[in-house]
Amino acid sequence: MNSAILTQAVKKDAWYNEPWLLLVVGGPLIVVCASLITGFIAFRGADQVVAKDYYKQGLMINTNLQRDAKARELHLNAKMQFDLQSQTIQLNLQSRADLPETVQLSIASSGAQSGSVEEVIRRVPMKHVGGGKYQADLREALKGKNALDTNAVKLLHVKLETNDWRLTGDWYDPLQRNLVLAVAN
């Protein structure tokens, strides 16, 4: 009886029908597919780690610190408001020193509302109209490909600057609120 068991032919399945094949090949195959998908996602949606002008920005750090210190020394305070009807921004600037004839206004807004990732910066000169009051015409900033959509904007990054000093801040809900900028102590 024992010899009958030993002489019986062993049934062999085709290699692709073996259940162990799924374990031996399936695990590494899943890992390879997952790594390809992860690589695709990382390559397609990669953030820029280093700015394109990183060297220039690094050199500007000391200059910016000096300009912030000068603004603190002059005790600068600013109040800004949008006038959408006349498409202007009014600025009331107070300082211990004489005020310049022109102040550079930089407004940065995110393209998140339009679906883009980049930040769009608009620079507008503000002209002195007397008594610490400045005014800027927004018609140029409101036109063009990268136009400022005043209805969708909820946050603006604002920078007032001259060659000697600068004031920066975030303007939340610019159509509803005025912006008050003061130097940090």
Tens-digit pLDDT string for the chain (185 aa):
566 566 666 677 787 788 888 888 889 999 999 999 999 998 888 777 777 888 888 888 888 889 889 999 999 999 998 887 788 888 999 988 888 898 998 888 765 555 555 677 888 889 999 888 999 887 766 665 555 555 666 788 888 888 889 898 888 888 788 888 888 66
Q: Could you give the 3-state DSSP secondary structure of residue 60? A: helix
* Host H or E run for residue 26: helix 19-44
Cα–Cα distance for residue pair 150/153, rounded to 1 Å: 5
Residue 115 CA neighbour count, 13 Å, CB half? 0
The residue segments making up the domain with residue 117 are: 77-182
Q: Is 62 within the bounds of a domain?
A: no
Q: Is 18 within the bounds of a domain?
A: no
Give the tokens for residue 63: 């200059």
Q: Is 30 within the bounds of a domain?
A: no
Q: Is 141 within the bounds of a domain?
A: yes
Could you give the number of structural domains in the chain?
A: 1
Q: Is 94 within the bounds of a domain?
A: yes
Residue 67 CA neighbour count, 13 Å, CB half? 15
- CA 30 from centroid of its chain's CA atoms: 36
| Residue 156 and residue 106 in contact, taking contact as beta carbons nearer than 8 Å | no
Q: Is 116 within the bounds of a domain?
A: yes
Give the tokens for residue 152: 């969708």
Q: Report pLDDT for 1.
A: 54
Interior angle at CA 172, CA 171 and CA 174, nearest 5:
75
Give the domain CATH number at 107. Answer: 2.60.40
| Residue 167 and residue 78 in contact, taking contact as beta carbons nearer than 8 Å | yes
Q: Is 167 within the bounds of a domain?
A: yes
Cα–Cα distance for residue pair 172/103, rounded to 1 Å: 21
Phi, psi angle pair for 156, to nearest 5°: -125, 140
Q: Is 1 within the bounds of a domain?
A: no
Find all residues with CB under 8 Å of 181, minimum gap 6, and list them.
76, 77, 78, 79, 80, 158, 160, 167, 168, 169
The residue to which tokens 């019986």 are assigned: 8
